[in-house]
Structure formats: structure tokens, C-alpha cells
Structure 1
Amino acid sequence: MHPTLTTGRIVLDVAVILLAARAGGMLFERIGQPGVIGELVAGIALGPTLLGALPGDPSSALFPADATTVLRQIGQLGLVLFMFTVGWDLDLRLVRRRGTAAATVSAASTLLPFALGLALAVHLHETHDSVDGTPVPFWPFALFVGASLSLTAFPVLARILRETGLSQTRLGVLVLSAAAVDDIVGWSALAIALTALEAGGAWDYIRIFVETAVFVAVIALVVRPLLRVLLRSATPAREALVVPVALTGAYLTEAIGIHAAFGAFLTGAAMPRQDRDLALAEIRRRLSPVSALLVPIYFVTSGMMVDIPGLRKSDLADLALILATACAGKFVGAYTGARIARESVRDSAAIGVMMNTRGVIEIVLLTVGREQGLIDDRLFTLLALMAIFTTLLTSPLLRAIVPIVPARSSCANAS
């Protein structure tokens, strides 16, 4: 394709994606759902599931392979910024505030679905044991399935709690604390799975493990204190540090071999809390327009990878099994943990429903797994549908269990 035409096509594709993302987001917000799920569904509509199923395959004509490759690279930049802001917004003080109860809920809501995921992987691996002709070893595959079933979407859950007026309640703080720990555990499991997959031998595995440990130690012991000093100083250059720091962290973990998303997330977690500094809060606010442009591209292009017509008849039974395992594992685990923590029956049921929210963090995890060769396109589609379904269930079930006092104002699109 001619370079000028390629550039023009990319510009057109970005325009279509942003319009579709905005329309999908507004529609889902109107029905009381997170707007970012609407962005993902817009991507599904633009891909082979809907637009591509029409005569002549308009999806492939609108998004040719070379343009799609560039769009996904742009989306990867959006992913880095998204994971950086997720890490920056992740306030671990919540965990300390309700430490014992949060740890109990998190442990129960992680261990049970993770164990069920390992059992489910035994069945799924039989029909998804290779990606593009490359065999996928069982244990990295099983760890990935376990992580995908045990994850809770912290950003989307925070958005739902804000909109329902529960974010500052005792129940809301407990759930957010447990969800924060769940996300850390889930991403750690994915890191181990990717390490096992990427390692060509014992020495390579040790190298990745050691380099990752060194990276985490440097972030915690060097970068975090340094950022605290630099970003809370009065220097005008401090705003210019934020995005380069995020991109550098992403590059380093990509170079290690465990995906850029990890570095961006950990670097964001090392940032000083912006609620203590008005200037920092302003820097965080100025990232919003950049995220508003790039992040929808990531989620729409991720949605375009969902190929429902490409599923086999046998996959429908697997979808039902995945949904049942995911919902039962997360709800029963969280409910049991909440009861052990001496929460009431009603609050425990609400916690079980909220911890079943997987949302866009799940999509990020699935996309990483697909790109790294852990899962094939069919399993990506099945798990993505599970993520959408469990997220859509949260708000209506929560409203049926807990009296809701809607917040007077809500933030824009959830990360």
C-alpha cells in the first residue's frame, strides 16, 4: 500500500474508532454500565463478529492488515498509559485501613477461582494447546487461566462504587482493598506464566526472575523515593518527567521479557499520591486528554479481536462452563471470605457480586496473553465474553442487594 494512502487510512481508522468508542461509551453509560465496556463492545461490532460478517467483509476493507498493525501499536501506547494510571490510582493505604478483613476476602476470592481455573485448564488445554502452530506448555497455560478467573477489575469496580455512592462507605473501602490485592496477585501469576513460557531453559528462567526482582527492588527502593522528591519539588520540569518515567518502566520490563504493561503498572504504583499535592493532582488531570485519545484505541482494537463467528459449536459448552466456573468461584470465594471476616449475609453477598467484576483489566490480561502466545483466538473470545458478562452483571445485582444512594457526580470514563 502506498505510504500516503496508509497514513490516510490510519487517520480515517482512528476517526472511526474514536467515534465508535464514544457512541458505545455513551450508550452503556445511559443504561448504567461502565462506558469503557461500551468501547470494548464497539470494537466487537467493528470486527469480524458484526461488520466483518456482512457481505464483502467491510471490516477488512476498512481496517486492512497493515493499518491494523499500526493501530495496535498506537493502542499499546494507550495500554502503557492506562496501566500507569491504574498503578498511580491504586491506593495501598486502603489495604492497610482494613487490612485483616481485606486480606481474608482477597485470599478467599483469589484462591478458590484460581484453583477452579487450574482444574478448568485441564479440560481447555486439550483443544487450545497450540497457538499458530506453536505448542503451549500446560503449566503456563494453566497459570494464565487461573489468573484470568481470579482477577477483579479495580478501576471499573471503583467507578461502579463512585456511581452508586458506596466508594466512601465501610463496605466500599473493604471491597476496593480486596480488589487491589487481587489485581496484584493476578498480574503476578501472569508474570510467572510469561516467564515460564518465555524461558528457553533453566538459566533463562533464572535470568528473567532475577532481572524482574531487581527491577521491582529498584522501583521500590530507588525510583519511588526519588520521584517523591522530584515531583514534590517546585521545579517546572517535574511535569515533563511523568510520561517518560512511565515509558521507561514499560520498556525495561518489555526488555526483560514479561511485557510492558507490568513496568507501566509498577512505575505508576511508585508515584506519590496526588491527593496530597494539588500540583500532582493537576499533572494527573492533564494525563486525561492523552488517555481519552489513546486508551479507546486500545480497547476498541482489543474488541475487534473478538471473533464470535469463528467459534466452534463445542465452544458454546466451554463458554457456559467458563461463565459458571468464573461466577461461582469468585462469588463463593468472596462471600466465604467476607463471612469469615464477620460481615453480614447481605454485605457478604454484595462483596461476592462486586468481586466478580472483571472488566477492562481482564481484557488487558487476555490481550497480553494472546499477544504472548499463551491463548489462541477462540479462547481469547470465550474469556473476553466472560469478562463482559460478569461486569454487566455487577451493577444490577448490586442494586438488588444493597440500598443505593447515587453519587451526585461521577467521573468521566473509567480507566
Structure 2
Amino acid sequence: MTDNEIFLLILLLIMGLPWIIWRMLGDDDRAPLVVVQIFVGVLLGPGVLGAAAPALHAQIFNPGAIAALNGIALWAVMLFVWLAGIELNLGAAWAARRDSWTAAGLALLTPLALGGLAGWLILMRPGWIGAQGQPWQAVLGIGMACAVTALPILVLLMDRLAILRAPLGQRVLRYASLDDIAIWAVLALILLDWPRMERQLGFLLCFPFVAWAMRALMQRMAPAERLRLSMVWLALAGLAADWAGLHFMVGAFLAGVVLDRGWFDGDALDRLRDMLLLTVMPVFFLSTGLRTVWAMGGVELVAAALLLLAAAVGGKLLGVRIAGRLLGWRRGEASVIGWLLQTKALIMIIFVNILLDRQVISGATFTALLLMALASTMLTTPMARRGLRRLEADAGVSDQASPDAGRTPQRDQDAGL
């Protein structure tokens, strides 16, 4: 087969196989299409297809094809992270700062602590830390991977649950947005390159001024031209961050954070996100799957993944429950918010891909974290839907007991009704 034919065959597998499996499942609650795409990437990787048919795997996923796929995946994921940055609404978070900082802080720090402890236990055994990683970097990276919430996928799931524009959904977005800032700040800390410290300091000192100039220029542009200029800005910020040693994803996120969503057509941004998920993000999922390894043995990997899952899910639910007690939330709200914030998939996979690139973690740790992310994301929608039904039922019982007492439109909206 020619190189073009091999590449088109890979695209056929990427686009066709996950969609067929997803349609056969028949229920998006069981496995969102994003999760199925990542899972198929794992199946096509060296750990499954490569082990079962190494010659076929080597023929299809040859170095030339991998290089082409990685180029597409790089730009696709930069665009996706840029969109995640634009989604941040720091003004709303500041307006409700007590609620936002308390809930977001506990939702992040509790799973971070438990995930770091789980990572420390895993790293006690050989083969789980990367060749260039220090123990503190690996522990902090694993802990943050357990604490992360994937903001773009959270938006999609809440839209499907019909709570995205409700006050409850907007609160969850605030919490996830603040946690997103912490994720990239921690990543920048982990990736500090002491030999290139001068470059990194130069980037951090110059970026605010360049961002200010870009904001001023963006506001002078016609709305139709802002998106085109943003692509130039995204490439520039990614290049500068990578040159400084902070990784191009940090630059992509910052390129989005400094822009206001209101400057763009909101529907156009939503369509761009949907088209990315439809057309090029599956390539990133495949490239992620191709990096999974089972060298540590299936049982040990599954055990590590289950430990990390317990730390991630348990830590998030515990932290949000504590926040609910401190802030006086209604019964059941903490459970719904805790499960919604379990969404990991994309952002966590991007995060651990970077850690693997920099050899902070090993391939085995990457695989265990990937399995944890898939399981956590699969649990999100069914558990959140169940909690929303309980909120609705509790609201109905309260209304029957006292039709007028304590009933306000605001409370109905907070329940996602």
C-alpha cells in the first residue's frame, strides 16, 4: 500500500470504528462518543493490536503515518485548549468569590492530596516514574491528574443534561474554570526548565504586554476578522511558550484566557468546538491510544488505575461535600456537582501526554491514568442524571408539603429544572 492509502486507512479506522461501536451501544450515558474514541485508540495501540499482530501494526502505523497524525493532533489539541481558555469567565467567579473559591478550592485540593498520596504509593515500585522526572514532579502531576476537570467536555455533558444555562450549571462552570487555571499553573511549575530559566522568565515578563497589545488590536478588528487573527495569535503564543520551555499547550491556554468570549460569535465558537470533536480530535485520541503500554503487566496496571480512580472520585466527592456544608447548599446539590466535576477525558489526557513527553512519568503510569480518566468520565453522566432526578423529586415533595413556602423561580433554576 502507498503512504496515502495507509493514511486514509488509518482515518477510516479513526472515524468509522468508534462511531459504529457507539451506535451499537445505543445509549450515550453508557459511553459518550469521546470515551469510545479514546478506547478505540487504546485498542489500536501497541498494547492491544500491537501485541496481537505486531507486523500488521508496524505496517499500518509506520513512522511516516505517525508523524502526519501527530501534526494534525498537535494543532487540533491547541485549538481545543485555546477554546477552553476562552470559556473561562473570571468576572463571574469574582462576583461570587466566596462560593467560587471555597467550592473550587476544595474540589481541587482534596483529590489532589489523595491522588498525590496514591501516586506516592505507586511510585514506590520501580518503573512508574519517567527517566527525566523527579519524585515531586511525578507525585504532583499524578495528583493534579486526579483533580482535573475537563471544562470543554463538561460543557457538552451539561448541555446534554439541559442544565448548561441554568444557575446550577453556571456555578459548576465557575468551579471548573478556576480549577483549569490551577491545572496549567501546576503544569508550568512541573515543567520549569532551570537551564532555560532566563527564557521562561522572559516569556512570563513579556507575555502580559504582548497580550495587552493583542487585546487592544482585537477590539479594533471587525468581528469577522477576530477569529482569523486569533489563529495567528494562537500559533505565536504556542511557539513562544514552547521556545521558553513551558510547552506549547501552556501558550495555547494563555492565548485563550486573555481573550473575551463576548468578542466572538458564541454560536461560531460552539460550532468550531463541535467540528473539532467531529473532524480532528479523534486523531488526537488515536495518537493517545498509540502511546499506551502494558509493560508493567495487566493486573498491576489495573490495580494502579483503580487506586487512582478511588482517589479521584472519592476526593472530588468529599471535597465538594465539605464545600456544600460550609456554604449551606441544598441537600443533593453537592452530589450532583461532585459527579459533574468528575469529567476528565480531554484535558487530563492532554495534561498527562505532556508529562509523558517530558518523561516526568513512565508509559505505564500514563496508561493507568488514561484508564482512570476513561472510567471517571463514563461515570459522570449517569450519576449526575440520577442526582438531578433526586433534586427534582425532593423539590416536588417540598412543593406538595408547602406549595408556597420557600418556593422561588431562582431555587427551581438552581435545581436545574
Counterparts of 2:278 and 2:210, CA distance in 1: 27
Larger radius of gyration: 2
- Count, aligned residues: 389
Q: Identify the match of residue 154 of structure 2 among 153, 157, 164.
A: 157
Unaligned runs of 5+ in 2: 393-417
Q: 1:142 to 1:77 in 2, by over 3 A?
A: same
> TM-score, normalising length from structure 1?
0.85
**Match for residue 303 of structure 2 among 314, 317, 321:** 317
Q: Deviations along 1:153-195, whole A, 9 cap, x unmatched? A: 1111111111111112222111110011111101210110011
**What residue number does 2:219 align with?**
228
Q: 2:385 aligned to 395, 399, 410, which one?
A: 399
Q: Does the residue aligned with 2:367 lie in a helix, a strand or coil?
A: helix
Shift of 1:291: 6.0
Per-residue CA deviations over 1:235-258 (Å, capped at 9, x if unaligned) read x65453232221111111111111
| Cα distance in structure 2, aligned partners of 1:49 and 1:169 | 43
1:412 maps to which residue? none
Q: Over aligned residues, Cα RMSD in angstroms?
A: 2.7
Structure 1 Cα separation of the partners of residues 38 and 264 of structure 2: 34
Which piece of structure 1 moves more, 287-296 or 297-306? 287-296
Aligned to 2:242: 254
Matches of 1:300 and 1:230, distance apart in 2: 37
Match in the other structure for 1:109: 107
Q: 1:225 to 1:130 in 2, by over 3 A?
A: same
8 Å Cα contact 1:335/1:352 also seen in 2: yes
Q: Is 1:37 the counterpart of 2:35 in the alignment?
A: yes
- Give 5+ residue unaligned stretches, structure 1: 406-415
2:70 maps to which of 59, 65, 72 = 72
Q: Name the CA distance, whole Å, in 1 between partners of 2:295 and 2:216.
A: 51
User: TM-score, normalized by length of structure 2?
Assistant: 0.84
Percent identity over paired residues? 23
Q: Quick one: structure 1 residues 210 and 34, their matched pair in 2 at CA, closer, same or farther if it must change by over 3 Å? A: same
CA contact (8 A) 2:218 2:226 kept: no
Given candidates 9, 12, 15, the residue that maps to 1:15 is 12
The letter of the residue matching 1:39 is Q
The 10-residue stretch of structure 1 (249-258 or 286-295) with the greater mean CA deviation from structure 2:
286-295
CA contact (8 A) 1:338 1:351 kept: no
Aligned partner of 1:213 in structure 2 is 204
Which of the residues 37, 60, 67 maps onto 1:62? 60
User: What is the Cα deviation at residue 208 of structure 1?
Assistant: 4.8
CA contact (8 A) 1:71 1:297 kept: yes
Q: Per the alignment, in what secondary structure is the counterpart of residue 359 of structure 2?
A: coil
The structural deviation recorded for 1:21 is 4.6
Distance of 1:146 and 1:361 partners within structure 2: 14
Task: Output one character per residue of 1:225-279: Cα deviation in whole Å (capped at 9) or x when no partner.
Answer: 32222254xxx654532322211111111111111111111112223324x654x
CA distance in structure 1 between the partners assigned to 2:216 and 2:264 by the alignment? 16
CA offset at residue 91 of structure 1?
3.1
Distance in 2 between the 1:223 and 1:338 partners?
Answer: 40
Aligned to 1:148: 145
Q: Is the 8 A contact 2:238 2:248 kept in 1?
A: yes
C-alpha separation between the residues in 2 aligned to 1:322 and 1:374?
A: 17
* Counterpart contact for 2:335–2:387, Cα < 8 Å: yes
2:102 and 2:39 map into 1 onto residues whose CA distance is: 34
Q: Secondary structure at the match of 1:30?
A: coil
- Per the TM alignment, residue 75 of structure 1 is displaced from its structure 2 partner at its CA by 1.0
Distance (whole Å) between structure 2 residues aligned to residue 238 and residue 175 of structure 1: 28
Contact in 2 for aligned 1:151/1:358 (Cα 8 Å): yes
Structure 2 CA distance for aligned equivalents of residues 318 and 240 of structure 1: 44
Question: In the alignment, which of 232, 256, 279 is matched to residue 268 of structure 1?
Answer: 256
The aligned counterpart of 2:44 is 46
- AA aligned to 1:253 is A
Give me the whole-angstrom Cα distance separating, in 2, the residues matched to 1:48 and 1:214.
42
Cα distance in structure 2, aligned partners of 1:286 and 1:395: 23
Report which stretch shifted further, 134-143 or 87-96.
87-96
